[in-house]
Amino acid sequence: MNKKKLNPSILNTHRMSYEKIPEAYDMMTKETKVC
């Protein structure tokens, strides 16, 4: 029960971070590709 409630909250936080800092997300993807 708790896991189901935590999952959506975590997804929301991730979405907010990606929306707030899309450039940072792109940099991370580029770094992973380079590595």
- Is 60 exceeded by the pLDDT of residue 1? no
The residue written with tokens 């992973």 in the block is 32
Please answer whether residues 18 and 25 qualify as being in contact, where contact means their C-beta atoms are separated by less than 8 angstroms: yes
pLDDT > 70: what percent of the chain? 17
Confidence label for 10 from pLDDT (cuts 50, 70 and 90): low
- Is 60 exceeded by the pLDDT of residue 28? yes
Q: How far is CA 29 from CA 16, 26, 34, in A?
A: 17, 5, 9
